[in-house]
Every structure is written in structure tokens, then in C-alpha cells.
């Protein structure tokens, strides 16, 4: 299984990075939209849809994504920031509060809250100054937090982070992931030459990167919570060794809007 996961990751990562560097805005939007539409099909299963209803839901989500392209980004990114704060509470309290969201209508609406801000966030970053760098930084923060958590958790993990949602995650893994993400943020800042980490802007940048890494964990745990409620291990089997697209982009869906909101409100240059 580990070998299969590595092979799939070695295929997915270069394709994703190539799309960041080489696709124009429209092509990039189509690529991201396609991934999120497939993820919407997977989410439909978690929401309790079956058969052709899942395809109908995914089609409607594709239309919503197109509408989101023409919407003011703050109207979408700001509520998303609030949602992920609420999601953290739901994860901490699970299963106590699941009666608030486990109905199909509520889950259908939550699919929009999960997927649409991620789409808007990536398009917003793609249109920013140093867009390739910013998107790669976002990817590396998420991957770094995940990889750091995996190795530190295996070596030191005892106290569980969210045992009712994801028993495999530990506090040692969480802190290891945060340290890894901070090292990546520092290294990439030094590589680009900005921001100056000894200035106020540099400190704010590092704190924002830390927040992005934290929220990426919340996104992972949130999707795990919904899968546990549905009593499934993976959102689908489309990616060998990794489950579904939604299983791979769960952290991106949470971290992306937070990072894009920071760039939009605080500025980058």
C-alpha cells in the first residue's frame, strides 16, 4: 500500500506543480474546477446521495464554481474563514454536535462552503503578484505539515489529537507538522528574498503561515469527521492508495481560503 501511495503521489505532485507554472488563468481555472467537480461527486456520497443524484450534485457544483469566478472574492473567502473556525469546534465536540449537520440538506449546502472558497482562493492566488511562488508555498506548507506530522507522530505520538475523528493523529504529530511548516516558510522566504523576516511584515508573514498550517490540519480532520459519520474510510477509490480527490485536497480546501484572504487583505509585496 505504501508503494502504491508513493507512486500515485509522484504522478499527482508533478502534474499539479506543472499546472501552476504553465497553465494560463483560464486553463488553471478549468483544471481546478475539474478536480473540484470530481470532489463534489465524492462529497455527494458523503452527503448520502446515490446513483445519478451524485452526478446531478456535481453538475450543479460546477455551475456554482463558474458563478464564484465572477463573485467578489471577499464575499466568499471571509465566510469560509468563519466556517473553518466553526468546523474546528465541530471536530473537537464530535460526535456531540453532529445532529446539527448530518441531515442531507445541510450536508448538501456544506459542500458549497467546502469547495467554492477553495476554487476562489486558488484563482485569487493565481492572479496575485508572485502567483507561482504563493501557490507553491501554500502546497509546501500543507505537504510539510502532513509529512512532519507523519514522522513525528510515528516516533513520538502518544496523546491523541482527535481520537473520536482520526485516532491515528497525535499531538506530537501536530507539533512536528507545525515545526516543519515553519521551516518551509522560512526557507522559501529566504529563497525569494522577501519578506524580510526581521521586520514586522516578516513576523506577520510567519504567523500567517503558521495559521495556514494549523487550518490545514482542521481541514483534514473535518473531512475525516464527515467520512466517519458516513462510515467510510475514503471518499472514493479514484486515486490508488490515496482514496479519492477529496481525501487529497481536504487540507487545501481549508488552508487555501485562509492564505488567499491573508494575501488579499494584508498584501504581499
How deeply is 246 buried, as exposed, middle or buried, from its count of CB atoms within 10 A (0-12, 13-18, 19+)?
Answer: buried
Contacts of 219 (CB under 8 A, 6+ apart): 84, 87, 250, 251, 252, 253, 254, 255
Rounded (to 5) percent helix, strand, coil in the chain: 80, 5, 20
pTM score: 0.94
| Residue 18 contacts residue 28 (beta carbons within 8 Å) | no
For residue 267, the tally of other CB atoms under 10 A from its CB is 10
Which H/E stretch holds residue 89? helix 73-93
Q: What average pLDDT does this structure show over 5-12? A: 78
Q: What integer best gives the mean pLDDT of the chain?
A: 93
- Give SS3 for 90: helix
Strands 166-170 and 160-162: antiparallel
CA distance linking residue 245 with residue 153, whole number of Å: 24
Q: What average pLDDT does this structure show over 7-22? A: 85
State the cell numbers at 224: 475525516
pLDDT tens digits, 27-65 = 999 999 999 999 999 999 999 999 999 999 999 999 999
Q: What average pLDDT does this structure show over 199-210? A: 95
**Segments forming the whole domain that contains residue 239:** 2-266
- Give SS3 for 139: helix
- Give how many domains the chain has, as a whole number: 1
Alpha-carbon distances, residue 239 vs 7, 47, 111, 124, 235 (angstroms)? 11, 20, 20, 27, 10
CA distance linking residue 190 with residue 10, whole number of Å: 27
**Which of 6-20, 117-131, 233-247 is predicted most confidently?**
117-131
Given a cut of 80, is residue 9 above it in pLDDT?
no
State the cell numbers at 268: 504581499
Amino acid at each position: 500500500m505504501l508503494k502504491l501511495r508513493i507512486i500515485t503521489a509522484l504522478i499527482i505532485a508533478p502534474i499539479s506543480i506543472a499546472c501552476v507554472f504553465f497553465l494560463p488563468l483560464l486553463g488553471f481555472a478549468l483544471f481546478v474546477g475539474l478536480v473540484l467537480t470530481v470532489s463534489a461527486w465524492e462529497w455527494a456520497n458523503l452527503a448520502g446521495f446515490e446513483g445519478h443524484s451524485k452526478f446531478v450534485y456535481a453538475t450543479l457544483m460546477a455551475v456554482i464554481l463558474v458563478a464564484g469566478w465572477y463573485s467578489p472574492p471577499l464575499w466568499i473567502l471571509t465566510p469560509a474563514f468563519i466556517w473553518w473556525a466553526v468546523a474546528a469546534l465541530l471536530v473537537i465536540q464530535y460526535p456531540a454536535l453532529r445532529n446539527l449537520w448530518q441531515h442531507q440538506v445541510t450536508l448538501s449546502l456544506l459542500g458549497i462552503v467546502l469547495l467554492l472558497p477553495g476554487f476562489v482562493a486558488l484563482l485569487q492566488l493565481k492572479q496575485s503578484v508572485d502567483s507561482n511562488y504563493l501557490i507553491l508555498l501554500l502546497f509546501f506548507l500543507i505537504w510539510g505539515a502532513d509529512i512532519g506530522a507523519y514522522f513525528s507522530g510515528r516516533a513520538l505520538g502518544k496523546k491523541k489529537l482527535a481520537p473520536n475523528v482520526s485516532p491515528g493523529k497525535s499531538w506530537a504529530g501536530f507539533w512536528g507538522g507545525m515545526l516543519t511548516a515553519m521551516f518551509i516558510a522560512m526557507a522559501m522566504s529566504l529563497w525569494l528574498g522577501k519578506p524580510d523576516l526581521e521586520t514586522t511584515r516578516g513576523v506577520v508573514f510567519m504567523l500567517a503561515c503558521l495559521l495556514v498550517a494549523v487550518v490545514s490540519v482542521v481541514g483534514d480532520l473535518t473531512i475525516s469527521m464527515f467520512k466517519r459519520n458516513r462510515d467510510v474510510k475514503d471518499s472514493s477509490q479514484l486515486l490508488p492508495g490515496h482514496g479519492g480527490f477529496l481525501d487529497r485536497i481536504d487540507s487545501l480546501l481549508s488552508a487555501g481560503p485562509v492564505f488567499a484572504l491573508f494575501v488579499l487583505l494584508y498584501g504581499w509585496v
